[in-house]
Chains A and B, each alone.
Chain A
């Protein structure tokens, strides 16, 4: 956007009336300001300001003394909230959970969405419009509702699935990660599929035709021609998926009470929530959130860098 802004004209001495060129410039600049202002106002209001406030909070701690009934005071503690957070096993273990989650989730998600998109694009699938809609539908359901729906299906005694499959403990400590992955797949696979499908549709048909004339079968075309051409879309979705996984919160939060496997600090985001609302330690909550945000920023930087290089 910034590249379209023309350099302002060199300062000239005041004239009684602005030249027509200058008026036009002003008008254009006015339009640009008008159209971008809402974005920057919101960006400042809902991103920059909260970040700044979190940064401020993360440097302070609230201390009381004696029995604590005499109120509390806010003390500047420098970076000790960050150090405490990093030294806390509960926080670092959260990253292990997220890593495990990513290991299962990302290949399944990207592979599944790609396979579905290629199937729809190949023209083999009948009712392609219907399937696009049907697969996208779960994405419209908010995460909390999705969690509640699946919780119902995971709960012994009321779940028709468990009645069918026999005694599967979806909420037990060893299975709950898979159960969370399953909810996320259900929610997101259709969304990513639509992105891939749109990218596939944008591939010039001549390229596909050329491949066909050269004797490539449908599978060969998909792997050697279509996939490389939609790499940009795949990288974008991988990026979003990783960042989304780091912020894993809603689904495990819904499963927290009924599941033996999910604890209050299961993911880094849940850790921040627990620090703030179970322990009333807003300083540490802010510090852990910022560490998480920094990590997400670094990750997205490297993923995009890597994506650009392999292009």
Chain B
């Protein structure tokens, strides 16, 4: 037995070593005369097409793209680990919320000097999300205004008005349930607190702020409580489904017509189109319901940063500028058909508008709608330094909401406490 085990251990070890012995992602500076190779980790829809377009049109720089799991599904863990191990890629995709986390860890390079020429292309309230402590750490690719997707055919057949406010939304939710006992208007995602975050942002919440050199944490502020109470009511009265986001269960509910809507963001347009091709022409998009005046938060959105390990800063920044700010990049991303990204640079919106085939939405001018929602994004939002932890803390406790184990307002309190403790634990200052 002992020997068998030893042999098994040796074999297992060997296969491990073989697995580790693969080509390392550790970026190295290119020898003179050779094209510089920039390694790039990302997961956004259509990225492969964008990279192909770049490699075709550039002789001096070539991108080596590696598709990784999306950030919260393990991509960030992979990146954090790679930085620690010293073999992170040159360019990494990071969503706005997680950027301060990675800057705190020292995972990214300060690229303030390199991107000075493109800063002015961005609206100030978006660029402020990538400028921390007076330095720029990444370049925004897209913005993610909130919208509401709904089954136009079913809404019309049952004479349900498209909700403009959250009060309307509740009324519509009741009508949907009345029209079809199995059907619901939308889903509450206990596993994806970023939706709750965006809804709070929309309602005027400000979870994080800074006061001198101290963080202010107010995850349980009044606006957030209002949103929490509202959704708690919808869950309690069984007016929305409670399902994991992007789960098979969720997709199956769309397919059997028991889910008539989705409170999401612009990028959902590509996802819905890709996953439910059979329902083409039946969907439409409306602005997200609001609390009285049109408003939006931001649900996700990707930026690109240069990793601290990279020795190719110059080439990497050039790649990032092209990925975020060139017409070719946006044309190839959106022509792939799977992405409905909304450029953070307003000048590029017409390019996106032209490239996205909106026939799934009956030819609706969805980019005009996105632009309007983009304009209504509430200013003054700041992401905290430990968003990965915040989202995990939310996820852990929101799961118990559907079984009545806790309520969304209670969750706010516990996450607030956990977050303050976490930030203090890292040695950072927290204002009382």
Residues of chain A touching chain B, judged by Cβ–Cβ distance below 8 Å, are 1, 38-39, 42-43, 45-46, 62-72, 152, 155-158, 172-173, 236, 257-265, 273-274, 276-282
Contact = CB atoms under 8 A, between A and B. Distances in A.
Contacts of A173: 399-400, 403, 405
B118 interface: no
B171 interface: no
B contact face: mostly helix, strand, loop, or mixed: helix
A265 B80 contact: no
B10 A42 contact: yes
B415 to A, nearest CB: 13
A156 B396 CA distance: 21
A71 B106 contact: yes
B213 A152 contact: no
A274 B392 contact: yes
A277 B105 CA distance: 12
Interface residues of B, number: 55
Given A64-B427, A67-B428, A258-B247, A278 B400 contact: no
A201 to B, nearest CB: 16
A278 B399 contact: no
Nearest to A66: B213
B389 A278 contact: yes
B56 interface: no
A183 B248 CA distance: 19
B205 interface: no
Contacts of A282: 84
A263 to B, nearest CB: 4
Contacts of B380: none
A125 to B, nearest CB: 27
A259 B223 CA distance: 29
B388 interface: yes
A89 B10 CA distance: 37
Contacts of B248: 152, 155, 157-158
Interface string B58-81: 000000000000000000110011
B191 interface: yes
A39 B403 contact: no
A172 B190 CA distance: 13
B399 to A, nearest CB: 4
B386 interface: yes
A155 B105 CA distance: 37
Contacts of B6: 39
Given A65-B429, A155-B249, A278 B388 contact: yes
B30 interface: no
B306 interface: no
Contacts of B389: 278-279
Given A262-B399, A264-B395, 8 more contacts: A257-B395, A259-B399, A263-B395, A276-B77, A277-B76, A278-B389, A279-B388, A280-B101
B1 interface: yes
Contact of A260 (B3, B190, B385, B386): B190
A276 B83 CA distance: 13
19 contacts: A38-B10, A39-B9, A42-B13, A42-B14, A43-B13, A46-B17, A62-B105, A64-B428, A66-B428, A67-B133, A67-B428, A71-B106, A173-B399, A173-B400, A173-B405, A257-B247, A258-B249, A264-B396, A279-B388
Contact of A263 (B210, B249, B399, B426): B399
B417 interface: no
B44 interface: no
The 4 nearest A-B residue pairs measured at CB: A69-B133, A277-B77, A63-B427, A42-B13
Given A173-B399, A257-B191, A65 B252 contact: no
